[in-house]
Structure 1
C-alpha cells in the first residue's frame, strides 16, 4: 500500500497525540517519584524511567511521526544530462551514374560536414540502374519511382542527367526525401541546400541556445513564431461579422475545414493531436479607426487603410471574446473578419506606406494565430436592391492563408532563396516528407532541452527544500523522464528519428507532470523552523530536569560500583 504524504492537519494531530502521551507518562512517573521519594534507589530508578521514556522512546517516536515521505530521485543522472550527447545521426545516400563522380561527392561532403556539432552525417554512394531513369519523362515520374527512401530521417541525393528538361535550376528538392541535382552540380551547392533547407542546423542551434540561456541568446524568426511543444493543440476558427443585419455570410465552414485543414492535420499527426473548433461572432468590431485614403489607381476611388503599427491593438480586445481559454491545451486562433460595406474595402499597409503582398490582407501574431480581413465584393456592396445582402467568402483564398499561417506557427519555416536551387511546388493541403523530418528534428531537440531543464530545476528545488513531499507518482515521472531523455539521445545518434521523437515527447510530458504535481506544494507552508518553534516550547521544560538528572544517575551508579569494589577488596 502506497504511503500518502501527511497534511498539516495530520501532523498537528500527531503532535497533540504525542503531547498527550508524554503528559500521561509524566503523571505516571510523577506518582512513582512521590511514592519512592524516601528511597534513594527508587528515586534514581524514577529518573532512569524519565530518561528511557523521553530519550529512548520519545525522540525516535517524534522523529518518525514528523518525517516527510520522500522517494529517492536519480540526482546524479539528472546532473549528468548537461553532458549528454545529442548529436543527430543521419544516413544520406548519393546516387550517380558515374561511380567515380559519386565517390568524389561523398568524399567532399564528408569533408564539409565533418565539423558539424549537431549532425553526424554518413554519406555513401548508392548504385542506381539506368533503367529507372530511362523511363522518366517528367518530375511526377521521379516522385513515383520505387527508389524513393521511406525511412524517416533518411535522404537520397539523386543525379538526374538532363535535369534541364524539367527545370532551369541545378538542384531540385522533391516532395518526398529525395534531392535531384544535375551533372553540373558541385558538392558545395548540395551542402548549401542540405544545411539551409533540409537540416536547418542554424535553427536547431539557436533554439537550444535560446532555451538554455534565454537572456543571452535570441531565437531565430522561426523559433519566435513556433508554438511551444505540447501533446495536443486546439485550433479555433472564428468568423467575425460586425453587422449581420446588413450582411449575411453564406459559408460552409465545416466543409472548408474538412477539405483544406484536415489533410494537413493528418500529416502532422505524428507531432501532436489537434482539436478543431469554430465560432461566429456578431456585432464585434476591431476597436480601431481605419483611415480613408485615395486609391493609387488614379480614378478617384477610396478605401480604408490599417497601419501595420496598430495591428497589435486589434488582437487584445478581440481575444477577450474568442473563448479560446476553455481548454488547457495551447490554442491557435484563426480569425476571418468581414468588414461591413460601409467600411470596405479595408486594406493593411506596411510601415513603408505600401500594401501587403498578395491579394489577401492578413497578418500573423507569433505563438497566437492569424487574422484575415476578407472584404466583400464591390458588386454585392453596390447592390442596394437586396437587404440584407448575402455574401459567400472565397474559401480557397481564406483557407489558403490560414494554412500558410498554420505551417509557420507549427514550426515549418519559410525557406531562404538559394541561387539555382528550387523545390517542387506543394499543394495547398500537403506537407513534404522532408519538411516533416525537419520539424521532428526541431521538436525533438526542443523537447529534450525542455525536459532536461525542467528536471534540473526540480532536482535543485527538492534538494534545497528537504520538507517537500516526493510521492511515488512524482518519483515515477522523474525516473521515466530521465530514462526517455537518455534513450532518445541514443536513438538520435543512430538515426532513429521517429523513435527518438516519441521518447523526447514522453520525456517532456513526464518532466512537466512531475514539476507541476500538486503534492509538491502541500507542505511548503510548514518549514523546519516552524516545526521546531512548535515542539521546542513543549519539550524543553521537560527535557531540562531529565538532562540534569543524568548527573545524579551517573553519580549514584558510580557510587554503587565503587562501594562494591571496596567490599570485594576488604
Structure 2
C-alpha cells in the first residue's frame, strides 16, 4: 500500500509539473507574439516612410563657389596697343568677385572694314562670337566720323571702340552695362539676406524667376456708348509682342491673354489746366502722386488671378472725350517727357493713357458713338519698352561717350540675352539652394513628415543640378548652366510644395502614442508580469537538474 501511495504522489507531481510547463509555454507564446513579433510589427507599420537625404551635400551648397567664366577677345590695328589694353583691363577687373576673365588678342585684317561705312555695316561680319557669354572688343578706325561716341555697343556680342577709347572707358562698359556684376551680387545678397540687403532699381522692378508668365493685355473704355474703339488687339499682339516673346522663350513660357473693360474709371479726379499760350486749349493733368491710386481699384477688374503663374498687366486707358486729353505731370508740376503718357509699376506691369484725337472728339457732324482707331505702333512700342524693363533687360545708363546701335526690329540684342541668362541662372541657383536648405531644416526638425520617393528624387536632382550648373559656369558654358539651374529651380519648388509632406503633420508622435497605449497597455501588463513567473519556473528547473546531477 505504501508503494501505491508513493506512485500516486509521483504521478500527481508529474501532472502538476506538466500543467506548469503548459502555462509557462503559453505565457512564452504570448510574449513572443506580443513583444517579439507584435511590437516590431506595430513599430514598422506605424513608422513614417522617409527617404534618406544628402544632408551633408545640402549643407555644403552654402559654401559652393559660383564663378562665371568670361572670355573676351580684343582686336586692334596695333598689336602693342591690344596687349596694353589687355594688361590694363586685367588690372582694373582683377577685383571682380564673380567673374573670372580670360582675355586674348585676335588679328583682324583691314579688308574686313572695306565694305563697312558705318558701325551698322560691321554687324554683317563673320567675326562676331556665336557662343553665349563671350564678348568681342573691336577697334574701328575713324569711328568718330560716324558718331560722337568713343564706344558703340553692337546688336550682337561685339563692342566697337575708337582709337581714342581707353581701358577705363571699356571697363565701364563691361561693368555697368554688359556684365552688371554689382547688380548680380546685390540680387544674390538680397535673396540670401532680404532684411539686410536691397536690390538696385533694376532688381526691384524685375519679375522674379518663374517657369511661365501670364501677360494680360487690357483695353479700358469708360464710355463705350459715346466712343467706340476700332482696334484689332490680337493682330497687334501677333505683330509686335509675339516675336519678342519668342526670343525670350528659352528663359520661360509665356501665355498672352486679352480683355476689354467697359464702364471702368480711374477713380481719381484730374485737374483742369488751361493752356496759356493764347490758343485757348485745355487739358487735364494727372499728378504723379495719384498713379498708385489707379492700380489698386483697377486690379480688381483685371481678372489676372485666374492662374497660378505670375501675371504682367499691360493696360490701355482711353479717356472719354469729356476728360481728354489727359496727361501725366511730375511732382514738380511738369508734364512727363517724351510725349507719352504712361507709367510702370514694378513687378506688376504698365499703363498707357492713349487720348483720342482732337478731330474725333470735336467733330460734331459725326453722331455718337464716335469711332476711334488707336495708334498701334505708339501703344505697343511703350508696352515693349516696359516689358524689357520688367524682364530685367539692362539699359544704357549714364556712361559718357558710349552709345548702342538702335534696334531695327522687335528683337533682343545678343548681349542682352546673355545678360538675362546670367541673371536668371544666378537667381535660379540661389533660389534652389535657399529652398533646399529650408526644406532640409524643416525635415530634420519634424520627424513625422513623410519623405516619399518622388520628393527624395527631386531633392537629389536639385543637389546634382546645382553642382553641375556651378561647374558649367566656371568653364564658360552659360547655356548649359542655365538649363541645369532651371531644372534645379523647378525641382526645388516641386519638392517644397509636394502635398505628401503634409500627410502626417496633423498626427504627431505624442498623439500616436496616446491612441495606441490605451489599446496595448491592458494586454501588455499581464504579459509583462508573466515574465517573472517564466523566469522563476526556468530557474526552478535549472536548480532541480543541478541537484539530480549531484545525487
Q: What TM-score, normalized to structure 1?
A: 0.91
- SS state of the match for residue 338, structure 2? coil
**Secondary structure at the residue paired with 1:39?**
helix
Task: Give SS of 1:311's match.
Answer: helix
Q: Name the CA distance, whole Å, in 2 between partners of 1:384 and 1:237.
A: 32
Structure 1 position 374, deviation (Å): 0.5
CA distance in 1, matches of 2:162, 2:281: 51
Match of 2:225 among 233, 236, 245: 245
* Structure-1 residue corresponding to 2:410: 429
Secondary structure of 2:104's partner?
strand
Distance 1:259 1:560 in 2: 99
2:109 pairs with 1:133: no
Match for residue 523 of structure 2 among 542, 552, 560: 542
CA deviations over 1:205-242 (Å, ceiling 9, x no partner): 11000100111111111111111111211111111111
C-alpha displacement of 1:403: 0.5
Distance 2:358 2:276 in 1: 17
Q: In the alignment, which residue of structure 1 is the partner of 2:9?
A: none
User: Is the aligned partner of 1:508 residue 2:484?
Assistant: no
The question of 1:297 aligning with 2:301 is answered: no
Q: Structure 1, residues 305-332: CA drift from partner, whole Å, max 9, x if none? A: 2222221221122112112122222111
Out of 452, 456, 461, the residue aligned to residue 475 of structure 1 is 456
The number of residues matched between the two structures is 536
What residue is the counterpart of 2:346 in the other structure? 366
- Once residues 356 and 278 of structure 1 are traced to their aligned partners in structure 2, the CA distance between those partners, rounded to angstroms, is 28
Moved over 4 A (4+): 35-38
Match of 2:11 in 1: none
Instruction: Tell me how far apart the structure 1 counterparts of residues 514 and 116 of structure 2 sit (CA, whole Å).
Output: 85
Q: How does 1:526-541 map to 2 (within 5 A)?
A: 526-541=507-522
Instruction: Answer whether contact 1:95 1:102 (CA < 8 A) is retained.
Output: yes
| CA gap 1:45/1:200 in 2 versus in 1, 3 angstroms | same
Structure 1: distance between partners of 2:306 and 2:381: 27
8 Å Cα contact 2:119/2:143 also seen in 1: no
User: What residue in structure 1 maps to residue 397 of structure 2?
Assistant: 416
Partner of 1:396 in structure 2?
377
Larger deviation: 344-353 or 401-410?
344-353
Q: Give the root-mean-square deviation of aligned CA atoms.
A: 1.6
Aligned partner of 2:72 in structure 1 is 92
Deviation digits for residues 489-511 of structure 1, max 9, x if unmatched?
11111111111111111110111
Q: Please point out which of 88, 100, 115 is paired with 1:108.
A: 88
Return 38-47 or 392-401, whichever deviates more: 38-47
Partners of 2:447 and 2:404 lie apart in 1 by 57
Alignment of 1:232-381 (within 5 A): 232-295=212-275, 297-381=277-361
Report the 3-state secondary structure (helix = DSSP H, G, I; strand = E; otherwise coil) of the residue aligned with 2:313: strand
Asked whether the equivalents of residues 243 and 283 of structure 1 are also in contact (C-alpha less than 8 Å), the reply is yes
- The answer on whether the counterparts of 2:286 and 2:329 sit within 8 Å (CA) in structure 1 is yes
For the structure 1 residues 37 and 395, does the alpha-carbon distance in structure 2 shift closer, same or farther, using more than 3 Å as the test? farther
**Conserved in 2, the CA contact under 8 Å of 1:170 and 1:421?**
yes
Q: CA deviation at 1:412?
A: 0.9
How many angstroms does 1:401 deviate by?
Answer: 0.6
Name the structure 2 match of 1:13.
none
> By how many angstroms is 1:36 displaced?
8.8
Unaligned 5+ segments in structure 2 are 1-14
Shift, 1:259, TM fit:
1.8
**Matched residue, 1:190:** 170
* Cα distance in 2, alignment partners of residues 284 and 463 from structure 1: 52
**Is the 2:288–2:329 contact (alpha carbons within 8 Å) kept by the matching residues of 1?**
yes
Distance in 2 (CA, whole Å) between partners of 1:328 and 1:537 is: 46
Q: After alignment, is 71-80 or 443-452 more displaced?
A: 71-80
Match of 2:502 among 515, 518, 521: 521
Moved more, 425-434 or 507-516: 425-434
How far is the alpha carbon of 1:191 from its aligned partner? 0.6
**Consecutive unaligned residues in structure 1, runs of 5 or more:** 1-34
Instruction: Check the 8 A contact 2:284/2:325 in 1, yes or no.
Output: yes
1:569 and 2:550 are equivalent in the alignment: yes
2:120–2:405 contact (8 Å) kept in structure 1: no
**Segment of structure 1 superposing worse, 178-187 or 195-204:** 178-187
- TM-score, with length taken from structure 2: 0.94
Matched residue SS, 1:206 = helix
- Residue 305 of structure 1 aligns to a residue whose secondary structure is strand
In the aligned structure 2, how far is the partner of 1:297 from the partner of 1:457?
64
Map 1:549-568; keep pairs closer than 5 Å: 549-568=530-549
Cα distance change on mapping 1:379 and 1:42 into 2, 3 Å: same
Q: Name the structure 2 match of 1:458.
A: 439
Please give the alpha-carbon distance, in whole angstroms, between the structure 1 residues aligned to 2:210 and 2:140.
Answer: 41
Q: CA deviation at 1:110?
A: 1.4
